[in-house]
Amino acid sequence: MSTQLDHAYAVCRGITRSAARNFYYAFLVLPRAKRNALAAVYAFMRHSDDICDDPGLPLEEKHARLAQWLEELHQVLAGEASDDPVLLALADAQRCFQIPPELFDQLVQGTAMDLPEREQGGPGPPIAYRTFDDLRAYCHYVASVVGLVCIRIFGYRDPAAEPLAERTGLAFQLTNIIRDVKEDAAMGRVYLPEEDLARFDLSAAQLGNGFDPAALRPVLEMEAARAREFYRAAEQLLPLIDADSRPALWTLVEIYRRLLEKIAARRYDVFRERVRLSVPEKLHILSKGILRRLAA
């Protein structure tokens, strides 16, 4: 590996280590080449998210920068030189693991779906998703596509792995949505579908005017039940990916599943403080993942 490419992957690993609080632990039990590739994918997504979440950028500028970021990737994938370490590493990972380039287009498209159609104004957050099917379409771009990218790096032969990876990504995203209700509402984003809120006499406006944990518990509990169903796909996916990647997927699934159960144990009160697994809890899961790798 060239010195420049070595440096590029080191930059991506640094971004992953500092920002990917859950993914990072799973990456550690992968072989080096696969760990590097996933770090490059994460760093690419992180930059896209940072553009979207930058409060100092006008809406039009965010769209322009996302488009430019994707165009720069297209140029590097076509063989043009780049000094950007993230794009350099990602292009190498794409070639090594034969990741369909259109999946990266879909990842950026998913990021753009978090942007409002126009600059926000008026009270309360907007309703972004009317039905669960609407939400699932969004989750496909921001989470299920991530699953499809990851299994290219993990390695698989049975095409049945693909829909299972999509469903596993959906389980992770629903867990994130439940955990981040408060933070998302503060940014003007409501992912809980309107039809689900209405079932419990709730509305998106209530998420912008303060939080009543007892009132919101039933709808969060319902979304958690859906997530648990999707986590079953991960159990079916594990034996379909290459043996050297199974400990990493197991570690990642276990971290997210335990996060969901920790939220449930707090009776879905995600409003007083952010619910997360502690570093010792993650290290305990990681140690089990390492043992699984050694036994493989």
**Residues 52-84: tens digit of each pLDDT:** 989 899 999 999 999 999 999 999 999 998 999
Q: What integer pLDDT is reported at residue 123 of this predicted model? A: 44
What CATH number has the domain bearing residue 206? 1.10.600.10
The three-state secondary structure class of 67 is helix
Q: Residue 113 domain-assigned?
A: no
Query: Other CB atoms closer than 10 Å to residue 24's CB: what's the count?
Result: 20
Same domain for 1 and 92? yes
- 290 vs 180, which has greater pLDDT? 180
The H-or-E segment that residue 174 falls in is helix 161-179
Residues in Cβ contact with 18 at an 8 Å cutoff, skipping those fewer than 6 apart: none
CA triplet 218, 219, 220: central angle to 5 degrees? 95
**Above 80 in pLDDT, residue 121?**
no
Same domain for 16 and 79? yes
Same domain for 127 and 185? yes
Which residue reads 């140029």 in tokens? 75
Q: Residue 161 domain-assigned?
A: yes
How does residue 115 score in pLDDT terms, banded at 50, 70 and 90?
Answer: confident
Q: What integer pLDDT is reported at residue 238 of this predicted model? A: 96
Same domain for 78 and 162? no
How does residue 263 score in pLDDT terms, banded at 50, 70 and 90?
Answer: very high
**Above 80 in pLDDT, residue 18?**
yes
How does residue 120 score in pLDDT terms, banded at 50, 70 and 90?
Answer: low
Same domain for 17 and 161? no
Instruction: Give the domain extent around 241.
Output: 120-296
- Tell me the average pLDDT across 93-112: 96
Same domain for 156 and 199? yes
Same domain for 93 and 7? yes
Domain count, the chain: 2
In terms of Cα–Cα distance, which of 96, 189, 98 is closest to 142? 189
Q: What integer pLDDT is reported at residue 208 of this predicted model? A: 65
Same domain for 149 and 198? yes
Residues in Cβ contact with 238 at an 8 Å cutoff, skipping those fewer than 6 apart: 246, 249, 250, 253
Same domain for 186 and 243? yes
The three-state secondary structure class of 71 is helix
CA torsion 284→290→291→296, rounded to 10°? 150
Same domain for 15 and 144? no
34 token code pair: 């696969």
Q: Residue 154 domain-assigned?
A: yes
Tell me the Cα Rg of the chain: 19
Q: Residue 157 domain-assigned?
A: yes
Q: Residue 198 domain-assigned?
A: yes
Least confident of 38-47, 95-104, 154-163, 287-296: 287-296
CA triplet 233, 94, 85: central angle to 5 degrees? 115
What count of residues does the chain have? 296
Same domain for 154 and 295? yes
